Amino acid sequence: MSGIASRNIAYSNLKQRRRATIVEVAPGGTLADYVPFYFGPRSPMLFTYSQGNVTGRRENQDEIIYLVSTAEYVVSLNLPFAFTDGHPVVEPKSFFNDLRHLQEIDFQIMNGKYWFDTDAYPDRKRRRQAEFLVHQQFPWTAVQALAVRTSAMHGRVVDLIQHAEHRPTCIVRPDWYYDS
């Protein structure tokens, strides 16, 4: 699929911290050696991007396409992985490499609309930033679905992948994005 334009939408200082953060379980290395995924939609990074805190201007979330897969599918493909119970560069943090530890992920937060810290739940923001990390590369064939914000983007994506050997389902999920 040539002709796809991409651009970096990450904090440069966070990328530096990721290069220095050791993954404490096999296959090891640093966070920079992994393709990171959040466990749920409406990520904290998407929020800060939508507010203009990354690029200095409010951004159009319509251009963001979710690549959707599952931890179980990654395991079935024998892809090496690790995951964290919270933000991978913020203490406290724990790394895991066995799906039996998925109960360490707070899925109620992952599926919730709000994830800011409260007096009753002072660690919610850090835990919401838990990541599933696939070592070295994530093959296109591991993508089980694509999610977009609008019908217009759905049409663009379907047109883009129509001749690809692997064509994951494309779904419209405006609720996975933040209100403008």
Question: Which residues are the active-site residues?
Answer: 18, 131
CB contact at 8 A, 173 and 41: yes
The string of DSSP letters for 100-158 reads GGGGGS-HHHHH-S-----SS-TTHHHHHT-EEEEES---GGG--EEEESSHHHHHHHH
Cα–Cα distances in angstroms (integers) from residue 75 to residues 24, 63, 97, 111, 173, in the given order: 19, 29, 10, 22, 26
Q: Provide the 3-class DSSP secondary structure of residue 147.
A: strand
